[in-house]
């Protein structure tokens, strides 16, 4: 007899919960549990797993279903194989767009028929049967084995809808494994049959983003601006691209197209950072205060924006002279207290305590900071958020524990890569970069990424090598050896740019400083071997001339 599938219904309306449950029970071989809030589900997940979650989008005065899926995935309360179904009567494009971004296995719009629910769940169960081995490998972290299993399945004669779902899963895993060309081929093949398939549109965009092909990103995003379902997310992506290029006014322009009330937490954070980069501190605080007020009736969201405002005040204190920090630190501590009040959630308590410890660090009260860090729950990081880990790294570095600080940053980087939202990845990467520089770890971290890039280069994993060299140059932009490594890799790939870095910019950096004999030789060899480099030098003639005359 096959194993019973554990299903959780998360619906704030008791009648609706009971109705969905009664419809599912008749399907047989399902063990069905019901919850009125995401918090109840989270508590249950501490004791058992569910193979399928059925969420209503609106959950009363609480986080919505999409927010709960994101929280539970990032804090690893649910396994990679866990299926997600959404039910909603809300047909607004923004709502449907948010739901689709979570890669649901099924979306049903209310009012739906019993037959529609039965058909949808039966299809999911059929898909899960075909995907079972791959799903088990996913939970074990064996992504390569999961892909191999799906490769074999794709050669079998499958029901058409199952074949589509398995291909969608295979593309997502290829993207996760860094096999971007293979993933892109699936997305483009799907779009060739229908250019309206949203999961394929976003997948194609992510492939271009991960390979640093930002011109292709812009082309995809221009198309998405025309569709209500994808419009807000497209503006968010465009803002991220502009932010990394230090085009902060342009990033603000794109974010201004999204109503303040519709800005997600990561998008709000990105907008406050664009203000901060332009020295418009008051506007950052006003936006965060406004978002707190919008969400005063939604406790979890209110607390998140309160923590965000507390962190912003800490960032103001950190950039202020030692004797001008008191007011900002006082405001931050008040807000931390409000956000953590009556919180039984261990992750929220840990976030509060690391922020408190960091506030002590900024007052040079290292003994107090050490006392806070030594509390038992401060050393359990499996479910900690990337933001908490970045603050923990700052605290560890200030307390002289460099090894621990680097470990926290590595954990944070791993968590940041799980995020589905572009603004979340962008803001976390920016915060990590600032932390690495502020803690004096920039040179050591850059050396680590450069060595990583060299190893990948030797293995001919050139796209991944570019990513590592790019991180090294973000930390130490004027290191000729790193510039040459990235330049050589770009030329081998036949690319003109990677993310915000272009051939012209690399040439400018190299020719604006004295080079060692070995670096001069490397550069001369590249110049001779690759004609496109000569073109980049010609485009950058003014800088080259200045360097030669010097």
* Residues 325-372: tens digit of each pLDDT: 999 999 999 999 999 886 678 888 999 999 999 999 999 999 999 999
pLDDT, position 549 = 39
pLDDT, position 544 = 43
Average pLDDT over residues 394-401: 97
pLDDT, position 74 = 85
Is 72 in contact with 48 (CB distance < 8 Å)? Answer: no
* Residues 439-482: tens digit of each pLDDT: 999 999 999 999 999 999 999 999 999 999 999 999 999 999 99
Mean pLDDT of the chain: 92
* Residues 418-433: tens digit of each pLDDT: 666 789 889 999 999 9
What domains appear along the chain, each with residue ranges and CATH number?
1-112 (3.40.50.2300), 229-440 (1.25.40.10), 443-549 (1.25.40)
* Residues 22-71: tens digit of each pLDDT: 999 988 889 999 999 999 999 999 999 999 999 999 997 778 999 999 88
What's the CA dihedral at 83, 180, 160, 163 to 10 degrees? Answer: -60
Average pLDDT over residues 527-539: 80
pLDDT, position 253 = 97
Calpha distance 335→57 (Å, rounded)? 29
* Residues 138-162: tens digit of each pLDDT: 999 999 999 999 999 999 999 999 9
Distances (CA, A) of 9 to 152, 363, 467: 33, 48, 41
DSSP of 49-62, one letter per residue? Answer: --SEEEEES--SSS
Is 536 in contact with 503 (CB distance < 8 Å)? Answer: yes
Residues 6+ apart with CB under 8 A from 200: 171, 186, 187, 188, 190, 191
Is 72 in contact with 84 (CB distance < 8 Å)? Answer: no
* Residues 124-144: tens digit of each pLDDT: 999 999 999 999 999 999 999
pLDDT, position 262 = 87
């Amino acid at each position: 007899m096959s194993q019973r599938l554990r299903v959780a219904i998360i619906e704030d309306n008791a009648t609706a919960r009971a109705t969905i449950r009664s419809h599912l029970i008749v399907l047989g071989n399902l063990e069905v549990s019901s919850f009125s809030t995401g918090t109840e589900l989270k508590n249950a997940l501490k004791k058992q797993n569910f193979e399928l979650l059925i969420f209503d989008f609106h959950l009363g005065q609480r986080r919505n279903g999409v927010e709960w899926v994101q929280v539970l995935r990032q804090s690893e309360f649910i396994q990679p194989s866990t299926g997600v179904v959404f039910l909603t009567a809300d047909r607004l494009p923004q709502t449907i767009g948010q739901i689709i971004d979570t890669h649901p296995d099924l979306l049903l719009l209310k009012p739906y028929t019993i037959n529609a629910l039965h058909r949808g769940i039966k299809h999911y169960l059929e898909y899960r049967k075909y995907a079972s081995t791959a799903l088990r490998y996913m939970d074990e972290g064996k992504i390569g084995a999961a892909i191999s299993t799906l490769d074999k399945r794709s050669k079998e004669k499958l029901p058409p809808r199952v074949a589509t779902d398995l291909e969608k899963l295979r593309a997502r895993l290829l993207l996760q494994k860094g096999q971007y060309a293979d993933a892109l081929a699936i997305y483009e093949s799907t779009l060739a049959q229908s250019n309206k398939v949203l999961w394929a549109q976003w997948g194609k965009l992510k492939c271009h983003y991960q390979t640093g092909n930002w011109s292709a990103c812009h082309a995809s995003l221009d198309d998405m601006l025309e569709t209500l379902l994808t419009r807000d997310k497209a503006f968010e992506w465009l803002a991220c691209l502009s932010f990394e290029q230090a085009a902060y006014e342009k990033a603000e322009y794109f974010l201004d197209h999204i109503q303040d009330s519709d800005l997600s937490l990561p998008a709000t954070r990105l907008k406050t950072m664009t203000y901060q980069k332009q020295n418009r501190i008051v506007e950052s605080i006003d936006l965060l205060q406004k978002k707190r007020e919008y969400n005063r009736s939604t406790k979890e969201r209110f607390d998140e924006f309160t923590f965000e405002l507390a962190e912003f005040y800490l960032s103001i204190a950190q950039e202020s002279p030692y004797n001008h920090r008191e007011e900002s630190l006082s405001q931050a501590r008040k807000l931390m207290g409000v956000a953590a009040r009556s919180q039984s959630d261990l992750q929220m308590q840990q976030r509060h305590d690391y922020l408190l410890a960091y506030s002590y660090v900024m007052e040079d009260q290292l003994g107090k900071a050490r006392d806070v860090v030594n509390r038992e729950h401060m050393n359990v990081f499996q479910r900690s958020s990337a933001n908490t880990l970045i603050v923990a790294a700052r605290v560890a570095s200030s307390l002289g524990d460099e090894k621990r600080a680097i470990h926290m940053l590595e954990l944070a980087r791993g968590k940041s890569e799980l995020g589905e939202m572009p603004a979340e990845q962008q803001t976390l990467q920016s915060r990590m970069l600032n932390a690495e520089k502020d803690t004096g770890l920039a040179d050591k971290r850059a050396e680590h990424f450069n060595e990583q890039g060299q190893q990948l280069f030797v293995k001919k994993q050139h796209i991944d090598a570019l990513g590592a060299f790019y991180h090294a140059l973000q930390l130490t932009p004027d290191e000729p050896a790193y510039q040459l490594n990235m330049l050589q890799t770009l030329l081998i790939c036949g690319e003109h740019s990677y993310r915000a870095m272009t051939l012209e910019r690399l040439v400018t950096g190299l020719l604006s400083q004295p080079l060692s004999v070995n670096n001069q030789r490397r550069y001369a060899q590249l110049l001779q071997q690759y004609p496109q480099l000569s073109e980049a030098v010609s485009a950058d003639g003014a800088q080259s001339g200045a360097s030669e005359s010097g």
